[in-house]
Structure 1
Amino acid sequence: MSQPWREAFRGSQKLTDFYVHLAAKSERTHIAYENRLKQICDFFGIPYVKFDPQAVTQEMYDTLFKEKSQKAKHSTLNSFTSVFSVLSKVYNLGLDVYFLIEDDAESDYVTFRELQEIINKTDKEVATLCSFLFCTGLRLVSVSKIKKEDLFLNSENPFVKNVYLKGGRYEDFYILFPEICLPLLKWYMQYKSQQLSNYSENPFVFVSAQGHNTRQYIYFNVSKAGKVLGRAVSPKMFRTGLAVYLKQMGVQGPVIQMALGHRDLNTTVKVYSKFDKSDILRELNMKKKEGLVGSNSGINTFSTFNSNTVQTVTQNIEKCPFCSGVIDHEMLVCPHCLRDIRRICPVCKRFLNIKWEICPYCKKKFDDEFIKAKTRDDV
């Protein structure tokens, strides 16, 4: 639904050149610029229909920047600066604008240690989305469009194929910390298979309880991680966090740029011709051998359904509670008797033995009707 103020901007002849300049950018970028333009008008008390870009002055920029810098994050200040920069360029205003370094304040990104805390303390659905954002460094728009057929999780170096990037480009992306991300991602896909009857027919990986692959679903769940960290959390903070963490590990700048799929990738490769995509894995593996990467230290990756011990996938063999046939920990149905062998705890969302009457993780007790409904085929 279009707002009156947005229609006022888009219908203004004075802003025609401004929108021509934004024509090559996405609709999402249009909306972001318009939102900041609205806030600029609100700050100075300018009616939307009367906003004249030619009347923007250096004093206006300095006043807003000084006022907003008292509370706003660097990324927010830079978004305002971007609007002033475009106005200055399009209308030859000659404004002296300045961008701040966004990763010099920890509140602008999620650290690796904070990711550990999120995974260990928050909802598993939230943990999956947060870990995937961090381990791939992808933007929200890219993650929302990932399809199951593009996941190559069993390759030696797991990756996502043909990822949609800002500007309409497509590129393959490595999952840089698979030991952290993959167990959660596999759980997520099993969980959605149980939650949605048609999930197998849905081409997208990350979908809501209604089966929609919306950005709002991802953004809303990721924001829940803020309860663990005690501050607001957004998807972009995981992308920035990965870049900062790789930099702290000593990974070279051009390799970080390729890992994040920046728009100027071709220029980077031409200038630093000795670097290519394989250097991402080479550098990361080298840092792991040097002990500079924490691997999954301190992280409960939920790689098993067995409550007695935490084992690797190859070691984690169980028996069917009905026929005692040998089953794998990832199986939802026994291949011998064809009965359901897992249930999902409605509180912590872990997969449990279908005959358990209480969740050993969150202490949720299941009523008799719930148990009977889940084991009805045993009669």
Structure 2
Amino acid sequence: MTAHSQRAAQQTGGHPDKQADKQPGGPLARQLVDHMGAITRERIQAVALENAARNLAAIRNGNSLRELRKQTLGHGDKAIVLAAGPSLKRQQVAKQLKAAAYRGAIIATESSMLYCLRHDIVPDLVITVDPHAKRIVRWFGDTALTQADLDADDYFTRQDMDRSFADELRANEEIIALLDRYGKRMRIAVSSSAAPEVVQRATETGMDVYWWNPMYDDPDCDDSITRQLFETNRLPCVNAGGNVGTAAWMMAHAVLGKQQVAVTGMDFGYYAETPYLNTQYYYEAVALVGEERLDEIFTHIFNPHMQQWFYTDPAYLWYRECFLQLVADAQCTTYNCTEGGILFGEHIEFAPLQKFLDRE
């Protein structure tokens, strides 16, 4: 039994061959998950609303997400979401799509855009929502990137998401060239919370921009920030589930009306051999609880479909729980074709991507 599976057995109160509890995680992990909505709002809400104010002129001169409802993206009622989790490359999603001559809609998170374009796959729609000024623009190619920026933030080089970022300056030049080449062929749903630097890159590469608001709270509440934002910019409000992958899935069925939606690369967690340092929210986790308590907040979950253990952090565990709530009310059939990770449960058909591609 590995160290990961030993900890997992302790956390789930049984042998690692047993299914994890419906609400997995130890006491500290659960405490953080239960407060993750508030933690996230405290971390990003102020900058997101500031970005929305700075983007107001571009929003008023641009297209609303409503306009996408009038367009047909892809053939038929299928859509495939490509998120940038570690399984995207492990399962060779691009190779499978090309071999199947897939003609349905392809919706990519901005973080998987490079993967798509490297394989000559041009997404029908790209989604971006995160308000970070320096990190998210890197997925579009940062024309102002300096060595000082790289020295100040190791976000890309230490993660499991895209190892090609180890040579960051070279990768940045490649992305700039690819976006300059393919930008005019892509639509992008840009959240009002997006950094103006992201908006500028999307615009200057010729991407067809459609605007929307993420939901920050219940718009029916008297003091709702979401309602105030809507009254300011009049954009549709979308429950993004806290992350860009869920936002992409939501767009597929709620905006584009696709009835069969598959998600890929949506691990919401990490393979057992991944060091904690290589996880997305490592520094945030250390800041919250200290390095000595990391074992208490990383939760190990057994995936019965894969017969394999994965582990996750409180942020991704919260994303998972949000998704499971949203999928219960979705007007589509949802297939998780990630073939890895922790996203499984009622209302989700966990299946190999090939099975989805073979469906009529």
Same fold (TM over 0.5): no
TM value normalised by structure 1? 0.25
Structure with the greater alpha carbon radius of gyration: 1
Larger relative contact order (Cα-Cα within 8 Å, sequence gap ≥ 6): 2
Superposition TM-score, scaled by structure 2 size = 0.25
